[in-house]
Amino acid sequence: MKVLGIETSCDETGVAIFDTEKGILAEALFSQVAVHAEYGGVVPELASRDHVRKLIPLLREVFADAGLEFADIDGVAYTAGPGLIGALMVGAAAGRALGMAWNVPTIGVHHMEGHLLAPLLEDDAPKPPFVALLVSGGHTQLVNVGALGEYELMGESIDDAAGEAFDKVAKMLDLDYPGGPHVARLALNGTEGRFKFPRPMVDRPGLDMSFSGLKTASLYAVQDLQKQSPDGQLSEQDKADICLAFEQAAVDTLAIKCRRAIEQSGHQVLVMAGGVSANRRLRAKLEEASAKLGAKVSYPRPQYCTDNGAMIAFAGALRLQAGQHDDLRLNIKPRWPLSDLPAI
Ligand code: KG4
Ligand code: ZN
């Protein structure tokens, strides 16, 4: 079965074709980073308009790359939520229209299920049951995955998502959006121990997390340095030192909660997914923490950590293969708990 996947939930237009026998046949991605850069964050209306502009050229590109005709497609998957409503509407309208034109079933995919299942596109794919850490710009969640499609929320951030905190700290330091990769790069030159930020909520039982206090701690450090500096500017070393302290605190917090989630679930595998799972310090820390518990860590290749069409084509293919598909409504869900999904 060959499934076309369309991702338009936020600021990347992603298109891919997944074959249930051969894997990903072709994929294309357009990142809107430059469109939103001058605003320091995603502007929803600009995002929707750019998805409209890029979707058809990207579709043509993947069909050409895969050497396929439209008639070769057996189903269409598109991101139905969570995300920006206008951006979601673009992908959903296109997906449903193509399904009707080609007379094939369509399915609205949960964006976070796409992320969660992305590690299954790799060789040595993890098999449920496992614990999943979903860390993106909008979500930070620990999920107990009993089976494909059976998701129980174990804990989540009660305020900012981890990626959002990376982005906000980057903004304070005048780094480009999205900030995660820039903070990680600067942290490599940071001075160990110059700043020490709190590890929020780790002394409390449970698996909920908080990242807004870390953002505030970073802001105070920035303001102190600005006062001390003759020209009110931070040096590159100051910035690197704040990035290191912030990254270490965020990573430690996530690792402590992951360790607890593995112990609580009794599972032997931890899957990490979403944009922040590309972070090297986080990967290393989670591998170290999991190894102590005899658990294995699994994550997608970097290009499948951040938003992409391949994960949507794959998650959609699993559900279409199981006989699930849309009804006649155009059903967009800007808010959509993972636990509402049916089993696959
Ligand atoms: O999954 P994603 O592409 O989009 C959402 O669904 O939100 O995640 C984007 C987030 C951004 O906040 C970005 O700063 C963060 O992932 N990110 C990183 C890294 N690469 C991307 N954060 C930390 N370290 C990275 N290497
Ligand atoms: Zn995402």
122 is a domain residue: no
User: Nearest C-alpha to atom 22 of ligand 1 is from which residue?
Assistant: 180
Asked if 267 and 214 touch (Cβ cutoff 8 Å), the reply is no
| CA atoms of 45 and 338, how far apart (whole Å) | 26
How does residue 201 score in pLDDT terms, banded at 50, 70 and 90? confident
Same domain, yes or no, for 267 and 336? no
325 is a domain residue: yes
Same domain, yes or no, for 313 and 285? no
How does residue 38 score in pLDDT terms, banded at 50, 70 and 90? confident
SS3 175: coil
Same domain, yes or no, for 144 and 104? no
Domain limits for position 326: 2-117+304-340
Q: Residue range 12-30: average pLDDT?
A: 98
Residue to mutate, 9, 306, 307, ligand 1, most ligand atoms under 8 Å from C-beta:
306
Same domain, yes or no, for 287 and 328? no
Q: Of 66, 90, 86, which is closest to residue 78 (Cα–Cα)?
A: 90
- Tell me the ligand closest to 164's alpha carbon: 1
Same domain, yes or no, for 24 and 96? yes
How does residue 331 score in pLDDT terms, banded at 50, 70 and 90? confident
Same domain, yes or no, for 6 and 113? yes
Same domain, yes or no, for 109 and 137? no
Same domain, yes or no, for 189 and 89? no
Q: At what angle do helices 280-292 and 180-187 cross, to 10 degrees?
A: 80
How does residue 253 score in pLDDT terms, banded at 50, 70 and 90? very high
Same domain, yes or no, for 44 and 142? no
Q: Residue range 140-157: average pLDDT?
A: 97
Can you tell me which atom of ligand 1 is nearest the CA of 305?
A: 1
Residue 123, pLDDT > 90, answer: yes
Residue 205, pLDDT > 90, answer: no
Q: Total domain count for the chain?
A: 2
183 CB burial (10 A radius; 0-12, 13-18, 19+):
buried
Residue 9, pLDDT > 90, answer: yes
196 is a domain residue: yes
Same domain, yes or no, for 291 and 193? yes
Q: Residue range 244-271: average pLDDT?
A: 98
Q: Residue range 249-258: average pLDDT?
A: 97
The answer, yes or no, to whether any atom of ligand 1 lies below 6 A from the CB of 83, is no
123 is a domain residue: no
Same domain, yes or no, for 166 and 278? yes
Residue 102, pLDDT > 90, answer: yes
CATH number where 16 lies: 3.30.420.40
- Residue 136's identity, in one-letter code, is S
The answer, yes or no, to whether any atom of ligand 1 lies below 6 A from the CB of 87, is no
The answer, yes or no, to whether any atom of ligand 1 lies below 6 A from the CB of 151, is no
Same domain, yes or no, for 172 and 90? no
The answer, yes or no, to whether any atom of ligand 1 lies below 6 A from the CB of 137, is yes
